[in-house]
Amino acid sequence: MSYLENIRTFVRVYELGSMSAAGRDLRISPAVTSSRISQLEDHLSVRLFQRTTRSLRPTEQGKAFYGGACEVLEAVGTAEAHVVNITDNPKGSLFVAAPLGVGRRLIAPLIPEFLKTYPEVKIRLRLTDRKVDMTTEGLDLAFFLGHPEDSALRIRKIADVTRVLCAAPSYVAAHGMPASGADLIGGAHECLNLRFPGATEFQWRLMTADGPKKFQVGGRYECDDGDVLTEWALSGHGIALKPLFEVAAYLAEGRLVPVATQTPPEPVQMACLFTHRRGQDPKTRLFMDFVIDRIVGIVRAKALSGQLPR
């Protein structure tokens, strides 16, 4: 298996552009990473990377080898998947990403039950509200809210998620109750924004009498963690745009109240991304089925796509 591991290490170094990053991803030391690349270069009698103290770039031979290396790993993965499928005993690691709110509330609580059912599977769960790149980050599955840009990936839709504009009663008492999205622009209200490179949440897409419309909202509070925005809203610092399931309990308790109800947010798609190759892996399919079936149940139970409390 050493030659195969050398190829796998080469692919991760090539995709991540760094020996140390590839080592962290594969959970091996930088020395082992470098040794595997050197062994592969010795075997092929070529240099696969040009190394300096500050950079690492693939050579022409490295670029040529990458495509074939990916095909080798794909073929091995497909063969292993067939064997696992026949034995009905899935094993190996699954690399899963999800937004913070979705991951913490919906996916992470389900993982212990899945691992109890399939004890030879390992799951690495990464939670982030940033956009993820499945290829460079080595992901098998990525749950998300919204619409992905990469059409090369497969999408499995889970549900349409109702969202709500909400604020603490103390905020409404101090700043007034906005009736619609028009009241949110121009600096009249403090809008709490989920923001990171490439984010679009500071342009809130709301439903108007003329159909969906983007509102360019602003505010002094920004963060790349949606749960921080919820805490700011609970503390009376502004208005947040949130999936209903994340704040349903606070709305029921009266700690948050719906605002700008004349123009509610457009529902957002909850779905799962997976690659064509890894989508054939039985454990990937099993985990998707397991999680999605239960999320749909939670959706119904929490009225995730239902009506807001009055």
Any idea where the domains of the chain sit in the sequence? 2-86, 89-161+269-301, 163-266
Amino acid identity at 28: I
Query: What tokens were used for 306?
Result: 């239902």
Domain 163-266, CATH: 3.40.190.290
Q: Which residues contact 171 (CB under 8 A, 6 or more apart)?
A: 190, 233, 236, 237, 238, 239
Angle at 155 between CA 215 and CA 140, to 5 degrees: 115
- 89-161+269-301 shares the fold of 2-86: no
Superfamily of domain 89-161+269-301: Periplasmic binding protein-like II (3.40.190.10)
Task: Tell me which of 35 and 152 has the higher pLDDT.
Answer: 35
pLDDT, tens digit, 9 for 90 and up, residues 252-307: 999 999 999 999 999 888 888 887 654 456 788 889 889 988 887 766 565 544 44
Predicted TM-score (pTM) of the model is 0.65
**Share above pLDDT 70 across residues of the chain, in percent, rounded to a whole number:** 87
Residue 55 contacts residue 252 (beta carbons within 8 Å)? no
Question: Which residue, chain included where needed, has tokens 């080592």?
Answer: 23
Q: Is 164 exposed, middle or buried (0-12, 13-18, 19+ CB in 10 A)?
A: buried
Task: Tell me which of 225 and 201 has the higher pLDDT.
Answer: 225
**Share above pLDDT 90 across residues of the chain, in percent, rounded to a whole number:** 33
Strand 92-98 versus strand 121-127 pairing type: parallel
Confidence check: pLDDT of 239 > 90: yes
Task: Tell me which of 19 and 306 has the higher pLDDT.
Answer: 19
2-86 maps to CATH 1.10.10.10: yes
Q: What values do phi and psi take at 250, rounded to 5? A: -65, -35
